[in-house]
Structure 1
Amino acid sequence: MAKSKRIQKRALRRTLELLAPNIKPQRTLAAGGVVALLFEVAFRVLEPWPMKFVIDAVSVSLGANQAGPAASVSLLIWCGVALILIVSLRALSNYMATVAFALVGSRASTLLRARVFSHVQGLHLGFHARNRSADTVQRIVGDVGKLQEVAVTAGLPLMANMLTLVIMLVVMLIIDPALSLVVVLALVAFPLLSRGTAKKITTASRKTRKAEGQLANTAQESLSSIKVVQAYGLEEHIGARFTSANKKSLKDGVQARRLAARLERGTDVIVGLATAAVLVGGALRVLQGAMTVGDLVLFTTYLKTTMKPLRDMAKYTGRIARATASGERVADLMDVESELAVLATPDDLGAVKGEVSFNDVHTDYGGHSVLRGLSLTARPGELVAIIGPSGAGKSTLVSLLVRAQDPNWGTVTIDGVSVASADLDELRSSVSLLHQEAVLFTGTVQENIRYGRFDATDEEVEQAARAAHAHAFIETLPDGYNTVVGERGGTLSGGQRQRIAIARALLRNTPIVILDEATTGLDPESASLVMDAIEKLVAGRTTLAVTHDTEVALRADRVVWLQDGRVLLDDSPTALLANSKEFRQWVNARQQNLDDIRIGDTP
């Protein structure tokens, strides 16, 4: 039990520490909300007094043996006006507090969400490879939203209610100390009732959020691979997985709600018992002459007002427990540190000429060695084709150069400057990367090309598209350059997406270009157009072309064959054709495969 309490407190502390930097800029607004709540508390204390004066005055007029003025029209009118004024001011104070807290919560969650998203974007590729993207999105969007309940929806009002409870209790002690003992007993009974419940709600809520993350993962995986799902008839199988995750989320969610409802209804029972005790005891006190009827009404009203914070405490305890579970998930995400060390004062790359060197580089992935002492240099303006079997470490070279990962040993340099010591933004702005699957973003064709350089004019975008052999097909689209492409460019063919990506890279105009299987999977016609566009892209730029395409290899200045994490061959294509049996066999095998594909395509 003690360990569970420590875990619960630690979870709440982590959540509050996560929120604090984002609430701090809103401290003036939050302070204004607290002041408005204090005024609401004051008006709430004053609200029953006009009724007490009226009841006591009427009682005196009816012959009650008690001190005080008799009822008169002016007294009744003044009491009515006072009640209207107090209620109006209380409503205004409540409105101002609610708006202030809502703004604080919304702004704080917006800042936190941006901070979390920026943190996740800066994490190394290893993190993104291991983690499910849908669950990460769930934490950024859903769990951050839940944290508003800790900071604002529940947290700040709960503090205000606690203040209300204390003030009301003091006033009730002044009116009748004996009856006030009933309220004290009710306040003691509440923590006994809620003991351990918050922890159970947090545990159940943690399971719920985890199950919802799994649910999102299943849905995202299915929808992103819908072509395969439908082609292989996997709808029923994937649907069963989704249903299973859905039921798990439902079960845990119901458990959390059930525990919260039990706490709230248990509090209602405590409030009911306290009210009944005050009603009976207060009536006896009036009969004994120890208090007036107005005092009893005032005390009963205060009891009702005092019990409201108690009810709210039960309600907010459940909310805070659920939000704390979300806070833990977000805190876990923020605790992930990038494997890429960033220097406080990075080296300046300056005007990059484009000499790229890998010096005795060793890397591993998942505990398995990938590169084993690899050394390789590409001179400025040189096109180097990187070939070799799968798993030889070709794509690892790409990751190292753009510093998506760091080597375990050795250095990677550009113009003699280690990429590990260079400014990351400056480094990546010097490199254009073209993947096998050209990634387009939801938006217009023009916007996707302009991602290469945001300040490019429409004319420069069109020039880049013409150079990439993309202008002709773009003009045939329904709205030309303003045509909106679907998610990941799904409304375009592979060759069209690749040529738009090349146009984007041309507009970027960097001294270093990396081609990662840029022509793989394209039909011969599209591949030919893409190759022509690539020739314009790489002209005069240092280029590393990871490829299985013989045409790319034979057009290169040098061909580097990687095998088992080391350089097996390194020479010009002409020299390798003349001197290397392995390279000739590699070229012949792929050309034969290409001829077979062409024969198969012939009608």
Structure 2
Amino acid sequence: MSRRTPPMREALPMLGRIVRRFRPHLRSQRRLLLLGLLALLAEVALRLLEPWPLALVIDALAASAAGGRPPGIGMLLGAGAVLLGVVAARAAASYAMTVMFALAGNRVLTQVRAELYDHLNVLSMRFHQSRRTGDLVTRLTGDVGRLQDAVVTAMLPLAGNLITLVGMVVVVLVMDWQLGLLALLVFPLFALLGRRSTRRIVSVSRRQRRAEGDLASLATESLGSMAVVQSYGLQERLRGRFAAGNSTALRDGVQAKRLSAGLERSTDVLVGAASAIVLVAGAHRVLAGDLSIGELTVFLTYLKTAFRPLRDIAKYTGRISKAAASGERILEVLDQPAEITDSSWARPAPRLHGHVRFDGVRFGYRPGLPVLRGIDLTVPAGQRLAVIGESGAGKSSLAGLLVRLRDPDSGRVLLDGHDLRDLTLDSVRAQIAIVLQESPLFATSIAENIAYGAGREVGEAEIVAAARVAGADGFIRSLPEGYATVLSDRGVGLSGGQRQRIAIARAAIRDAPIIVLDEALAGLDPETEAEVVEALGRLTEGRTTLVITHDMETAADAERVIRLVDGRVVADGSPARVLPGARA
């Protein structure tokens, strides 16, 4: 069932909700916003004053034409000087307003992007596994950028014009309330005209943002799996999917532009009709002696300026609607609760010895579908434990609970007798190092990739020492730029063994009492595997180690082996006792 699409009158409250949500960021820029507001008020006052020198000259010339005394050169020069001064001052105020508001808006939205990125980093694995990476990247970059563009180039100018509108409406009603009411008849007509168009623009904008998010997800997935795409000849199929999504985004974008352009032109016609009516009625009042020619000139000038917000509403409807849709997508992520957080009583963990205990742990990724069913397991400090079992038996779930990527549905996970939920996340994770089957490397230097494991500033000597533990120092130094070599995305260009040894170095520099090896040897050729096994031996010496593996030879090197079947420990003991009969 499709979600009901709100009209513009609901898109604007959405922007109000966004403003309230980001009020702390706005508060940090209150000085700039206050200065911008003062400049805006000055600009409005000067805009109200601008037509009056012209009105005085026109009235003087009209009086002269009727047989009165002609205006002197001093009066004309004075009026010209005043007009020039008002225009120059208004330009300066407008410039200051634009700069102040733009600077404040950009700073606020930069903080919003940082907040969104930080929040994504603390959301649970459950959330990330249910979302497409490309769509999240689009929210972080494209949606924040679109909101930023709308705030700086549409909403702030529109706010200024609305204040100008209020000021000018008050002045024209004071000057001639009958003529003023006649001019104001255009506003309900504009509301009726814009209601249908804005509803459709908001609807199309939401569809367009959704299509762009899907497109980004498809591109991220295919570009990140290029070897599979080319090996299986998926180019044509993926090209078709991308072309379909691209066409959808294009069609929605063109439709939004067409609707916005139609609303703008319709508004121009309305404004022209209102100006014509006021011109005719105003001229009649001038002939009747109720209004001077100069006052009519001021009235028409005000009318033209007062209708500018209507044009801007039509012009910026598309941007504001897209901003509302983008802001809605941003808030949807920010409103997601972080499931794994520090409790109010959590305290930093002391330096751990590495005693691990799973006490009656039950866990499932979905309600009613348990993965671990009452695990009771104790691992003494310094022991090397291999965890074997079929795929889906719950091996990696144990590791995830130990690092507290997830919390058990019931039971406890304890380190040195401390329930993990009683310790702060950072202090626990800082004492656990992980080496995965595919340990991702970042697109930065090898030295920085290794240093990331420390969680603190480290020197070159520590980085080199960690690389030597991993057996990586030799091949790193053989690279043209050594430790300064910048890796491509995910370490493409290095062999599997080289990438794995850099990952081991990253774990080694952490100097953690607990090590988790999750299929760390899978997919390596025998020669490379021997090198990595030797490096892992140096890494795990004297440390509590969980070896999650399908490989019986790897498990045989452990002091103790447990076998999981359907989320339960069905065998526990020495390799000689457990491994016979176990299948990889």
Q: Does TM, scored on the shorter chain, surpass 0.5?
A: yes
Residues 27 and 64 of structure 1: is their aligned pair in 2 closer, same or farther, counting only changes over 3 Å? farther
Q: Match for residue 266 of structure 1?
A: 266
CA shift, 1:90, in A, is 0.4
What CA deviation, in whole Å up to 9, does each residue of 1:352-398 have, x standing for no partner? 01001111111123442211111111111111111111111100011
The answer as to whether partners of 2:562 and 2:578 remain within 8 angstroms in 1 is no
CA shift, 1:348, in A, is 3.8
Q: 1:503-522 residue pairs with structure 2 within 5 A?
A: 503-522=505-524
Q: Match for residue 451 of structure 1?
A: 452
Q: Point out the more displaced range, 446-455 or 223-232.
A: 446-455
Q: Match for residue 61 of structure 1?
A: 64
Q: 1:171-320 residue pairs with structure 2 within 5 A?
A: 171-320=171-320
Please tell me the residue identity of whatever aligns with 2:570.
L
Distance 2:348 2:60 in 1: 85
Q: Match for residue 600 of structure 1?
A: none
Q: Match for residue 439 of structure 2?
A: 438
Residue aligned with 1:484, SS: coil
The answer as to whether partners of 1:149 and 1:155 remain within 8 angstroms in 2 is no
CA shift, 1:314, in A, is 2.3
Q: Match for residue 33 of structure 1?
A: 36
CA shift, 1:315, in A, is 2.4
Distance 1:377 1:31 in 2: 61
Q: Match for residue 489 of structure 1?
A: 491
The answer as to whether partners of 1:355 and 1:380 remain within 8 angstroms in 2 is yes
CA shift, 1:484, in A, is 0.7
The answer as to whether partners of 1:452 and 1:507 remain within 8 angstroms in 2 is yes
Q: Match for residue 75 of structure 1?
A: 75
CA shift, 1:130, in A, is 1.1
Q: Match for residue 399 of structure 2?
A: 398
Q: Percent identity?
A: 47
Q: Match for residue 338 of structure 1?
A: 338
Please tell me the residue identity of whatever aligns with 1:546.
I
CA shift, 1:294, in A, is 1.9
Residue aligned with 2:509, SS: helix
Distance 2:347 2:468 in 1: 37
The answer as to whether partners of 1:14 and 1:328 remain within 8 angstroms in 2 is no
Please tell me the residue identity of whatever aligns with 1:223.
L
Distance 1:22 1:315 in 2: 28
Q: Match for residue 429 of structure 2?
A: 428
What CA deviation, in whole Å up to 9, does each residue of 1:88-126 have, x standing for no partner? 110011011101111111111111111111111101111
Distance 1:456 1:83 in 2: 65
Distance 1:528 1:357 in 2: 31
Q: Does residue 46 of structure 1 match 2:49?
A: yes
CA shift, 1:506, in A, is 0.9
The answer as to whether partners of 2:5 and 2:199 remain within 8 angstroms in 1 is no
CA shift, 1:4, in A, is 4.7
The answer as to whether partners of 1:386 and 1:547 remain within 8 angstroms in 2 is yes
Q: Match for residue 325 of structure 2?
A: 325
Distance 1:84 1:128 in 2: 60
Q: Does residue 527 of structure 1 match 2:529?
A: yes
Residues 365 and 170 of structure 1: is their aligned pair in 2 closer, same or farther, counting only changes over 3 Å? closer
What CA deviation, in whole Å up to 9, does each residue of 1:11-61 have, x standing for no partner? 344333333232221122112111111100111111111111222222333
Please tell me the residue identity of whatever aligns with 1:548.
H
Distance 2:89 2:67 in 1: 33
Please tell me the residue identity of whatever aligns with 1:423.
T
What CA deviation, in whole Å up to 9, does each residue of 1:251-298 have, x standing for no partner? 222232222222222211110001111222222333333333222222
Residue aligned with 2:372, SS: strand
The answer as to whether partners of 1:138 and 1:216 remain within 8 angstroms in 2 is yes
Residue aligned with 1:337, SS: coil
Distance 1:152 1:50 in 2: 33
Residues 3 and 382 of structure 1: is their aligned pair in 2 closer, same or farther, counting only changes over 3 Å? closer
CA shift, 1:176, in A, is 2.7
Distance 1:252 1:301 in 2: 38
The answer as to whether partners of 1:11 and 1:324 remain within 8 angstroms in 2 is yes
Residue aligned with 1:485, SS: coil
Residue aligned with 1:269, SS: helix
Distance 2:469 2:63 in 1: 99
Residue aligned with 2:233, SS: coil
Residues 258 and 21 of structure 1: is their aligned pair in 2 closer, same or farther, counting only changes over 3 Å? farther
The answer as to whether partners of 1:386 and 1:561 remain within 8 angstroms in 2 is yes
Please tell me the residue identity of whatever aligns with 2:373.
R
Residue aligned with 1:448, SS: helix
CA shift, 1:311, in A, is 1.2
What CA deviation, in whole Å up to 9, does each residue of 1:63-95 have, x standing for no partner? 356xxx631111111111111111111001101
The answer as to whether partners of 1:8 and 1:199 remain within 8 angstroms in 2 is no
The answer as to whether partners of 2:361 and 2:411 remain within 8 angstroms in 1 is yes
Residue aligned with 1:147, SS: helix
Distance 1:10 1:42 in 2: 29
The answer as to whether partners of 1:561 and 1:569 remain within 8 angstroms in 2 is yes
Q: Point out the more displaced range, 271-280 or 207-216.
A: 271-280
Please tell me the residue identity of whatever aligns with 1:446.
A
Residue aligned with 1:70, SS: coil
Distance 1:146 1:215 in 2: 17
Residue aligned with 2:201, SS: helix
CA shift, 1:179, in A, is 2.2
Please tell me the residue identity of whatever aligns with 1:80.
G
The answer as to whether partners of 1:388 and 1:561 remain within 8 angstroms in 2 is yes
What CA deviation, in whole Å up to 9, does each residue of 1:484-506 have, x standing for no partner? 11001112111101101111111
Residues 582 and 86 of structure 1: is their aligned pair in 2 closer, same or farther, counting only changes over 3 Å? same
Distance 1:140 1:529 in 2: 40
What CA deviation, in whole Å up to 9, does each residue of 1:333-356 have, x standing for no partner? 112123325311204421201001
Please tell me the residue identity of whatever aligns with 2:415.
I
Residue aligned with 1:374, SS: strand
What CA deviation, in whole Å up to 9, does each residue of 1:464-494 have, x standing for no partner? 1112110111111121111111001112111
CA shift, 1:150, in A, is 5.7
Q: Match for residue 599 of structure 1?
A: none
Distance 1:146 1:504 in 2: 38
Q: Match for residue 601 of structure 1?
A: none
Distance 1:456 1:165 in 2: 60
CA shift, 1:550, in A, is 3.1
Residues 471 and 242 of structure 1: is their aligned pair in 2 closer, same or farther, counting only changes over 3 Å? same
Distance 1:473 1:550 in 2: 29
Aligned length in residues: 579
Q: Match for residue 539 of structure 2?
A: 537
Please tell me the residue identity of whatever aligns with 1:52.
A
CA shift, 1:172, in A, is 1.6
Q: Match for residue 127 of structure 2?
A: 127
Q: 1:566-585 residue pairs with structure 2 within 5 A?
A: 566-576=568-578, 581-583=580-582
Residue aligned with 1:540, SS: coil
> Tell me, which stretches of 5 or more residues in structure 2 are unaligned?
none
The answer as to whether partners of 2:36 and 2:96 remain within 8 angstroms in 1 is yes
Distance 1:10 1:279 in 2: 37
> Tell me, which stretches of 5 or more residues in structure 1 are unaligned?
591-603
The answer as to whether partners of 1:14 and 1:331 remain within 8 angstroms in 2 is no
What CA deviation, in whole Å up to 9, does each residue of 1:388-439 have, x standing for no partner? 1111110001100011111112111100111122101111001001100021
Normalising by structure 2, we get a TM-score of 0.95
Distance 1:365 1:298 in 2: 70
Residue aligned with 2:203, SS: helix
